[in-house]
Structure 1
Amino acid sequence: MNIRICLMALLSAGNLLGTYAAEPEETTIKLLETSDVHGAYFPYDFITRQPLKGSLARVSTYLNEQRKLYGEGNVLLMDNGDILQGQPVAYYYNFIDTASTHVCAAMLNYLKYDVGNMGNHDIETGHAVYDRWTSQCRFPMLGANIIDRNTNEPYLPPYRVLERDGVRIAVLGMITPAIPSWLPETMWSGLRFEDMETCARRWVEAIRKKEHPDVLVGLFHAGPEGNLLDNVIENGSEAVARNVPGFDVVFMGHDHRRLCKKIQNAAGDSVLLINPANAARTLADVTLKITRKDGRIVSKSVEGRLADVTSLPIDQAFMDTFAPQYQATLDFVSRKIGSIRSTITTRNAFFGPSAFIDLIHQLQLDITGADISFCAPLSFNAEIKEGDIYMNDMFNLYKYENLLYTMRLTGHEIKGFLEMSYALWTNQMQSPDDHLLLLNEKDEGFGRLKNPSYNFDSAAGILYTVDVTQPEGKKITITGLADGTPFDLNRTYTVAVNSYRGNGGGDLLTKGAGIPKEELASRIVFSTDKDLRYYLMERIEKAGTLDPHPLNQWRFVPEEWVKPAAERDRKVLFE
């Protein structure tokens, strides 16, 4: 009798244990991404001397909240590149104070980032900067498709596996492969950039075989789709997510456009695509829920949202920690460079010759001695006020760390270049009531402009008109050089351009001027060894006081249509 009771008790206990073992267990893991921070480390714009809505100081507050809610171990934090450029604080630690730990590395370490990814503007800083920075980051900086030409292997780790509460999460990092279309090879010497889809197919298979991850994450510094540059797909993130099965979520960047949507991949599975845009105003916030039963994953859910941090309080502990770097940057931007007799703004550049753009034209011509200069408004709405010019104004005058090239172009190529530029810039007016500018009905990333203003190149050194009633190919009439000599379509001229344009950026030299991409390097007869901003600053210091004015070497026609249309479009853009 006692034996029977014991057996029954053991069987009951076994059934009870089986019941408990069969109960599903749910784990929640947070995946958070910043992207395209562009130097917005502090809640202060060192260029405009105004508060910034975003910043890593507010991101820090959000991280503290999430780690309290989900546990520090269950929050995985990633950055998706383009963090080393955009504010003077980044420039200062890139090129001025190179002895200290880079402030960006120190901040990302402080915030406990788990993984990072390279962006094109990080590459733009050059080997010396990004090699130093990546070595100082206490987490892996990924780059599966950044290939070392000597070894034919990735220059940076291709992926990293992170385990959270027993869940294996593999993160594959890639960059837009269009780098050679924008940047001089000196910035990426010894490297090449592989097509994203080709690279992803190889590494997804390798990760599956070797790592057996429960979750596969793409961390891609590229937008979802669009733009074929020199037969290279600039933004291939969605194509990878759709055509290479296996990803649960793809974090994106590069194009500065907010996005959160799900797509179906080639195997019929759902993939979340998410992009937090730029300037540390928004985080991509993904909630991953894993349900396990008897040690096996039986279900997996992935939900995303874009978390706005602009209304969050600043993390004072973060600010206190980096107070010395803040002060060092403030001292740097407060140095006086010279003075200017009148206020200049890029707003005027959309409607005709402007003092702002023509100041850059004149400085480019002076520095290079070229016959002609090409230049575009790199900032949509920049201004330098009358009075003293300080170092921070130089970042308004010239936004990017481009080099300055002198190139050889024929008259035909110069005309073709300008034809394409103004076709991107201006509408083909059919009546006086039409828009002068090529506009969208709503803001789609460039204000109301259909195309980015950094591709709206005008010229100095030649006299020409732009007929806004004509299509591309018939808009531009060049009447002569600025010195009064005739302009010859068959003659070769020297032209000053920035390195972004000189390497094919914006396609104005390749598609507009018709120069094969592989021929561009042979057209460069001179390159500065420092960025253009440095030489502009040097010239301003030497001049002391600037008296900028429009050169008035080109104009829109017919003027009776253009003037009222310009007034209407100015209100559309800026009021």
Structure 2
Amino acid sequence: MKQMSYMINQRYMKKLTCCFVCIFLLIGTVAAQDKEVKLKIVQTSDIHGNFYPRDFILQRDAVGSLARVYAFVQKERETYKDNLILLDNGDILQGQPTAYYYNYIDTVSPHVAAEMLNFMGYNAGNMGNHDVETGRAVFDRWAGDCHAPVLGANIIETATGKTHFPPYVTLERDGVRIVVLGMITPAIPVWLSENLWKGLRFDDMEETARKWMKIIREKERPDIVIGMFHAGQDALLMGGKYRENASLDVARNVPGFDIVLMGHDHARECKKVRNIAGDSVLVIDPASNGVVVSDIDITVTLRDGKVTDKKIDGVLTETGAYGVSDEFMKHFASQYATIQDFVSKKIGRFTETISTRPAYFGSSAFIDLIHTLQLNISGAEISLAAPLSYDTRIKEGDVYVYDMFNLYKYENMLYTMKLSGKEVHDALEMSYDLWTNRMTSPDDHILLFRDKPREGAADRAAFKNFSFNFDSAAGIIYTVDVTKPSGRKVTILSMADGTPFDMNKMYTVALNSYRGNGGGELLTKGAGIPQDELKERIVSSTDKDLRYYLMQYIEGKKVIEPRALGQWKFVPEEWAVPASKRDYEFLFGKVQE
């Protein structure tokens, strides 16, 4: 009997042991199972004040806007919840009157751009060159009002050597550590007056990325590293020392990035490149104005808390299909009304319609109005100016505040500088070299076009170079021979009053601060003035932006009669006139203005 009981107990114990073994094996299997985490990264860039689905300058509906972006984001959050990471890549504080108003008019209320980023749940922002252009008082106030960090790994305080903004932010989602490193193009000193960024410097992107990647790997041990760079992909050297648009260089030459988010150049891009370590890096750019967003899906596989696999895919997603967020519009309705009231103020009257379209083919009423105002405001002898908007117009009749954003797109100061006659000539040579084709037959283009238009960059798609660098001059009489090679196109005949023009004489020249600081390199590469010498050539600068003085001038005059001064033209006219007509139609269609 005892033996039977012993045998039964043995069998029971065997079964029990077997059961425990199975349980332990099951637990081990569960522990060894993979965990899959799905993340969504959404990037906006170069919003340029397009917060509402309303273009306050043109007084019509806008295609993009943060209101449309928010509709898309809210739809995606239904699936991804907190695993959606929302990032903005700079140039948010300039472009539309909405930004201008909260930059310079209402400086007491929280900045509306910050309030919107907070409302939409952005996880990080980045600095752009046009954000710096607003000045330290504005961009520091905006960044301070933002709940999420505004990044800037290569924006350095000269007094301390430390970063002015946080260099990066670390986010954790379902056990996955994501680091976002933010940088700006370092070419700021070539474009912007030092008084806007005094006490700061802008370091090279690749050197900065190399430094911080080491720190990030050691300190943060990230699973995903995202570079958010306010810079495009076509690298070039500006001012002899600033590497502009170096995003692709960083993606390829600094191992460790999984994704590089680009901006600044307003050109759509989505592709994968291989870095020097042989790893794939997604590079993506949503162009501008919130028309599309960078839409990135990441699937991370974890085992025992460690990443065993990650898949990264990106597309550019149109926001238009998602409509406009009613929640956004209701929340910011009072600010919308404020801006509409601001831009609707009448400041004067124009006796005729002016457009930038004729400005590419000769003396035009639009650009010559800017020349006239610059000469009047500064008292200078010569004016240099370019069409800052590719295609815009101001209609005959009453002129309102919103028209001033058409007349003058950027918040540039007005400089008066000392330039020799030869330097003026050489700057114009470079300008027209950027602008015009060398005609070898009457059937050639007169303008210099790209072989392939820039996708998603309608404001600059056709020209090979940027039209905001197409400076013409007033105060002098000259011709541009489109049959001549580079450096031999421009012939200056005299001053506008008929007195001789002297290549050796020093003239006072009115031009905007972007050009005066070396923007477009017309004064450095073109006129041959060393970058470091430009500051010494400045005689005076306005303390407010040029648009402010243009508004004051028009309000004082009340009635403006815009007219082309006729101080320059393309020659030989038997080739230039028909070629101009053909290229006008190529750009704008058959209706000439």
Normalising by structure 2, we get a TM-score of: 0.96
SS in 2 for 1:464: strand
Cα distance per residue 1:10-32 (max 9 Å; x no partner): 11111111222222111101111
In the TM superposition, 1:163-312 aligns within 5 A as 163-230=172-239, 231-312=241-322
Cα distance per residue 1:358-395 (max 9 Å; x no partner): 00000000001100000000011110000000000000
Say which of 78, 87, 106 aligns to 1:68: 78
> Which amino acid counterpart does residue 104 of structure 2 have in structure 1?
F
Check whether the contact 1:334–1:392 (CA below 8 A) recurs between aligned residues: yes
Change over 3 Å in CA distance of 1:296–1:447 after alignment to 2: closer
> Which amino acid counterpart does residue 46 of structure 1 have in structure 2?
F
Say which of 545, 566, 571 aligns to 1:531: 545
Return the offset for 1:315: 0.6
Change over 3 Å in CA distance of 1:90–1:159 after alignment to 2: same
Say if 2:469 is the partner of 1:459: no
In the TM superposition, 1:138-537 aligns within 5 A as 138-230=147-239, 231-444=241-454, 445=457, 446-537=460-551
In the TM superposition, 1:119-130 aligns within 5 A as 119-130=128-139
> Which amino acid counterpart does residue 569 of structure 1 have in structure 2?
D
Q: Distance in 2 between matches of 1:296 and 1:500?
A: 49
Return the offset for 1:62: 0.5
Return the offset for 1:442: 3.6
Q: Distance in 2 between matches of 1:519 and 1:440?
A: 33
Return the offset for 1:441: 3.6
Return the offset for 1:311: 2.8
Structure 2 residue aligned with 1:23: 33
Return the offset for 1:37: 0.3
Q: Distance in 1 between matches of 2:25 and 2:56?
A: 68
Structure 2 residue aligned with 1:110: 119
Q: CA RMSD in A?
A: 0.8
Cα distance per residue 1:210-269 (max 9 Å; x no partner): 111111110110011222102211111111111110011011100011111111111111
Structure 2, unpaired ranges of 5+: 1-9
Q: Distance in 2 between matches of 1:311 and 1:68?
A: 17
Larger radius of gyration: 2
Bigger shift: residues 10-19 or 186-195:
10-19
> Which amino acid counterpart does residue 75 of structure 1 have in structure 2?
L
Bigger shift: residues 417-426 or 13-22:
13-22
> Which amino acid counterpart does residue 165 of structure 1 have in structure 2?
D
Say which of 38, 41, 51 aligns to 1:41: 51
Q: Distance in 1 between matches of 2:146 and 2:528?
A: 43
Q: Distance in 2 between matches of 1:528 and 1:135?
A: 28
Check whether the contact 1:355–1:550 (CA below 8 A) recurs between aligned residues: yes
Return the offset for 1:82: 0.2
SS in 1 for 2:252: helix
Q: Distance in 1 between matches of 2:255 and 2:464?
A: 34
Say if 2:539 is the partner of 1:546: no
Say if 2:11 is the partner of 1:11: no
Check whether the contact 1:372–1:460 (CA below 8 A) recurs between aligned residues: yes
SS in 2 for 1:500: helix
Structure 1 residue aligned with 2:63: 53
> Which amino acid counterpart does residue 342 of structure 2 have in structure 1?
F
Structure 1 residue aligned with 2:7: none
Q: Distance in 2 between matches of 1:529 and 1:431?
A: 48
Cα distance per residue 1:473-522 (max 9 Å; x no partner): 11111111011110011111000000000000000000111100000000
SS in 2 for 1:572: helix
Bigger shift: residues 293-302 or 211-220:
293-302
> Which amino acid counterpart does residue 74 of structure 1 have in structure 2?
N
Return the offset for 1:42: 0.1
Identity across matched positions, percent: 57
SS in 2 for 1:7: helix
Q: Distance in 2 between matches of 1:440 and 1:240?
A: 26
Q: Distance in 1 between matches of 2:361 and 2:322?
A: 39
How many residues are paired up?
574
Structure 1 residue aligned with 2:145: 136
Return the offset for 1:472: 1.6
> Which amino acid counterpart does residue 54 of structure 1 have in structure 2?
G
SS in 2 for 1:311: helix
SS in 2 for 1:497: strand
Return the offset for 1:297: 1.3
Normalising by structure 1, we get a TM-score of: 0.99
Check whether the contact 1:275–1:284 (CA below 8 A) recurs between aligned residues: yes
Cα distance per residue 1:105-155 (max 9 Å; x no partner): 010000010111000000000011001000000010000000001110100
> Which amino acid counterpart does residue 309 of structure 2 have in structure 1?
S
Cα distance per residue 1:157-214 (max 9 Å; x no partner): 0011000111110110000000000000011000000000100111000011111111
Return the offset for 1:439: 1.2
Return the offset for 1:447: 2.6
SS in 1 for 2:508: strand
Q: Distance in 2 between matches of 1:26 and 1:110?
A: 30
Bigger shift: residues 421-430 or 434-443:
434-443
Q: Distance in 2 between matches of 1:307 and 1:568?
A: 36
Q: Distance in 1 between matches of 2:461 and 2:396?
A: 26
Check whether the contact 2:235–2:249 (CA below 8 A) recurs between aligned residues: no
Q: Distance in 2 between matches of 1:265 and 1:442?
A: 26
Check whether the contact 2:175–2:305 (CA below 8 A) recurs between aligned residues: no
Return the offset for 1:313: 1.2
SS in 1 for 2:302: strand
Check whether the contact 1:447–1:573 (CA below 8 A) recurs between aligned residues: no
> Which amino acid counterpart does residue 83 of structure 2 have in structure 1?
N
> Which amino acid counterpart does residue 375 of structure 1 have in structure 2?
A
Check whether the contact 1:262–1:273 (CA below 8 A) recurs between aligned residues: yes
Structure 1 residue aligned with 2:569: 555
SS in 1 for 2:321: coil
Return the offset for 1:312: 2.1
SS in 1 for 2:322: coil
> Which amino acid counterpart does residue 451 of structure 1 have in structure 2?
N
SS in 2 for 1:228: strand
SS in 2 for 1:263: strand
SS in 2 for 1:153: coil
Return the offset for 1:96: 0.3
Check whether the contact 1:242–1:266 (CA below 8 A) recurs between aligned residues: yes
> Which amino acid counterpart does residue 486 of structure 2 have in structure 1?
E
